[in-house]
Amino acid sequence: MTTKMMTTTKTTMTMRLLTISAVVIACGAACTGGAGGPVPAIANLTYDGPAPDSPLVLLLSVDFTDDDGDLSGGVLDTFINQRPTSAGPLQLLPIFIESHLDAHATSGTLDFVLELSFGDDPPASGSTFTLGARATDGADNTSGTQEIKLRLEGDTT
């Protein structure tokens, strides 16, 4: 297995229960090669706002490039504070379809949704957390991780 380095972009954002302003900070993240072939790249993870029916449902997007066009056969992993979310790996083919992209597209923007769940102990207004995303293509090649920092404002219950 080979390891390549890519840049992770961190964006600091403020949410109106989930509204955002941004500052970009660069840091490193590892990319790994699976069965060989080009490693996909993701960039510009963006919080696009809350879903119309729930401020805890985040509308997100991320740009990608994948030279061999097999990203739709893979998954998108999401993280909160560098830990996997309870959503588990998101299959990319449905995200490609919802984003109006051909399954063999080599670049584009993926639109996806992530629901926040705080359980019985929601964080206080003003709390911050880091949301990350990483893509793995159909050949098990994994991109670097993109991260944005989000701040909760308002009632989180």
Would you list the domain boundaries of the chain? 3-151
Which of these, 45, 53, 58, lies nearest to 109 by C-alpha position? 45
Looking at residue 116, its pLDDT comes to 84
Whether 18 and 156 have beta carbons less than 8 Å apart is answered as no
User: How many CB atoms neighbour CB 37 within 10 A?
Assistant: 16
Quote the pLDDT of residue 92: 98
pTM of the predicted model as reported, rounded to 2 decimal places:
0.78
As beta bridge partners, residue 29 has 6
Q: Which residues pair with 70 in a beta bridge?
A: none
Show the tokens assigned to 15. 């949410």
Q: Which amino acid is at 95?
A: I
Grouped pLDDT means (10 residues each) for the chain, 157 residues: 37 40 36 69 96 92 97 96 92 98 98 85 83 96 95 72
- For the 3-151 domain, the top CATH level (class) is mainly beta
Reference 108, options 96, 123, 122; nearest CA is: 96
pLDDT, residue 155, reads 65
DSSP string, 10-78: EEE---SSS-----EEEEEEEEE-SSSSPPPEEEEEEEEEEETTEEEEEEEEEEEE-TTS-GGGSEEEE
Handedness of CA 125, 114, 121, 23 (dihedral sign): negative
112 burial class (0-12, 13-18, 19+ CB within 10 angstroms)? buried
